[in-house]
Amino acid sequence: MTTVLAICVTVIVTVSVYLMLSRELKSIAMGVFLLGHGANLAIIAMSGSPVLPGGDLRQPPILGGENLVDALPQALILTAIVINFAVMGFLLTLLVVTARKTGTLNVDELALEDPPVASPEPDRTADRGVGR
């Protein structure tokens, strides 16, 4: 089981690093999310036995009667998933706002301090009602 998990983690992290090396913010965001999932799987793999002794995948791992797996890593992962979810929501919102305001999600174009396009002032007044 641990071997399977280790292979999964490797694949996920590889894909996420590939995505994060992109110049496009959408791909970078997807890479970051994938990395989070890889991290959670890594914790499961590190926590010793991720399923009940004997490798029974059909039984719930914590409510298994006599034999229980360590519940703490599961609690840690639950917390990490919630945090990851919140960050994901925030990042996606920010991407939408950025795309609307700047018209680009390319890292190189965003890095320019003073855009060649219109000044930001009209945008500011246009969406004043949004954040209330």
Q: Tell whether residue 71 is a contact of other proteins (CB under 8 A).
A: no
Q: Tell whether residue 101 is a contact of other proteins (CB under 8 A).
A: yes
* 18 versus 90: smaller Cβ distance to other proteins: 90
Residue of the chain from 3, 54, 65, 132 that contacts other proteins (CB under 8 A) = 132
Q: Tell whether residue 36 is a contact of other proteins (CB under 8 A).
A: yes
Q: Tell whether residue 20 is a contact of other proteins (CB under 8 A).
A: yes
Please answer whether residues 105 and 98 qualify as being in contact, where contact means their C-beta atoms are separated by less than 8 angstroms. yes
37: closest CA among 19, 58, 59?
A: 19
CB of 55 to other proteins, least distance (A): 16
CA 57, 59, 65, 68 torsion-angle sign = positive
Q: Tell whether residue 62 is a contact of other proteins (CB under 8 A).
A: no
Nearest-angstrom CA–CA distance, 70 and 61: 9
Nearest-angstrom CA–CA distance, 52 and 61: 6
CB of 58 to other proteins, least distance (A): 22
Q: Tell whether residue 58 is a contact of other proteins (CB under 8 A).
A: no
CB of 36 to other proteins, least distance (A): 6
Nearest-angstrom CA–CA distance, 111 and 129: 27
